[in-house]
Amino acid sequence: MIALIDYGMGNLHSVAKALEKAGGKVVLVKKPEELAQASRIVLPGVGAFRDCIGALNESGMDAAILDFIASGKPFLGICLGMQVLMDASYEFGQHKGLGLIPGVVKKFPDTHPEHGFKIPHMGWNDVVLASSSTPHPVLAPLAGKQVYYVHSYYCAPLNPAHILAACSYGEYPFAAAIGRDNFIGVQFHPEKSQKAGHDLLEAFLQWKP
């Protein structure tokens, strides 16, 4: 069972359909205790970091996610669901994240639009896998492909080893995917990335960390 976390925000329908198309059995989950039945978790996200982490904290889902990840089961965070893995975000003030990846979430430079790069960063762009002998199994299908992004903020991990893939917007590099052990987050939207996104979700469903 794939637990798709419903915290009152995000494009749940399209993510659920994409996961089902990739072969997953998806259940929308609103209560922390429901995660115990899941074999994998997907945390989608559209909106503000403050509202997302606030909803997770209020429901107790934050602690449940940490317990789930500590159990060794696979976790995937999408867009904002990736950003909440960080220590903190500077979106609309400073807000504490789940603290799984040391580092913060920052906004693209305000000067970007002056150079012809609108904020948010929206549309198709690269996903450059980290240079290693063996690419991450969830990201391996994306080699040489482009994916779809929609975001104004980006993750800045302190440890380069936690950056599993990168991208650049206006010659400004940012993390396209982060993670370690049994959890991974992607800044782009697999559910909007056509075949590349489908291949990633399929790889996540088969991933055995």
Would you please indicate which residues are annotated as catalytic (active-site) residues?
A: 79, 189, 191
- Residue recorded with tokens 């991990």: 157
Query: How far apart are alpha carbons 68 and 96 in whole angstroms?
Result: 19
Q: Is 108 helix (H, G, I), strand (E, B) or coil?
A: coil
Joined together, the tokens standing for residue 76 give 């995937």
Query: How far apart are alpha carbons 138 and 147 in whole angstroms?
Result: 14
Count of CB atoms within 10 A of residue 62's CB? Answer: 21
- Residue recorded with tokens 């637990």: 3
Asked if omega into 120 is within 30° of 0 (cis), the reply is yes
What phi-psi label fits residue 123: left (phi over 0), alpha (psi between -120 and 50 degrees) or beta?
A: left
Query: How far apart are alpha carbons 167 and 126 in whole angstroms?
Result: 6
- The letter for the amino acid at 200 is L
- Alpha helices of the chain — where are they, by DSSP H? 12-21, 49-59, 61-70, 80-83, 194-206
CB-based contact 49:97 (threshold 8 Å): yes
